[in-house]
Copies of this chain bind each other. A is one copy, B any other.
Amino acid sequence: MADKALVVLSGGQDSTTCLYWALARFGGGSVEAVTFDYGQRHRVELQCAAHVAGQAGVPQTVLPIDTFGALGGNALTDRDIAVPGFDANEGGLPSTFVPGRNLVFLTFAAALAWQKGIAHLVTGVAQTDYSGYPDCRRETMDALQRTLCLGMEASFVIHTPLMQLTKQQTVELARDLGAIPAMALTHTCYKGVRPPCGECAACVLRAKGFDAAGIPDPLLCA
């Protein structure tokens, strides 16, 4: 497998930063993106992901996953469940937790990478500032990397460039990678509205990061 990378691109701030990280690390002709259409409530992300990939000149594959919707029971795919505010995740997992979501995303990404002869998988999960999602931790990613390598007889490496970064540091990384303009194309709000609701956990975290870095969010300046 050559030194090519497949980035899990949701169309959000973090995965967009990862796309530019991969372009800097692996080079322009060696990066592809995969986006999952899993019935997410914030479906505007799908358009954002296509715009981000297009502007970066990166081939993008969109894969459907209808299983999470059939499983139900979470606020990201089930419209009957309210999206919690920022403080709602005290004590237990938040209602936006889709069990196994990142595990499934990376397993399907690995399946696509296997077909394409790509060894490097890149994901924007972070355990700093994370919203209580156990599938965002490096320990989980290490176990998953081993599982994918064994299960597909391959030498996958899961890169998590944002894992130890605060939201401020992620914004600063995006600045260093020249990715701030692309942030105007991204979407973060859990409620899927534009302009962003400004109240959900994702919006609050994003605003804090840009504020702390002292960089205006181009999404809000648009």
Give the distance in Å from the alpha carbon of A212 to the alpha carbon of B152 in the complex: 31
A70 contact set on B, CB distance < 8 A: 63-64
Stoichiometry (number of copies): 2
CB-based nearest B residue for A36: B67
Give the distance in Å from the alpha carbon of A104 to the alpha carbon of B151 in the complex: 11
B150 lies within 8 A of A143 (CB): yes
A137 lies within 8 A of B111 (CB): no
State which residues 110-163 of A face B: CB under 8 Å. 110-112, 114-115, 134-135, 137, 139-140, 143-144, 146-148, 150-153
For the residues of A in contact with B, the DSSP-based class is helix
Chain A interface residue count, CB cutoff 8 Å, equals 36
B100 lies within 8 A of A110 (CB): yes
How would residues 44 to 73 of chain A score, 1 for a CB under 8 Å from any chain B CB and 0 otherwise?
A: 000000000000000000011111001101
B67 lies within 8 A of A65 (CB): yes
Give A residues with C-beta under 8 Å from B. Answer: 63-67, 70-71, 73, 93, 98-100, 102-104, 107-108, 110-112, 114-115, 134-135, 137, 139-140, 143-144, 146-148, 150-153
Known pairs A64-B67, A73-B115 / 13 extra A-B pairs, C-beta < 8 Å: A63-B67, A64-B70, A71-B112, A99-B110, A99-B111, A99-B115, A100-B108, A102-B151, A103-B151, A135-B152, A137-B150, A143-B151, A144-B147
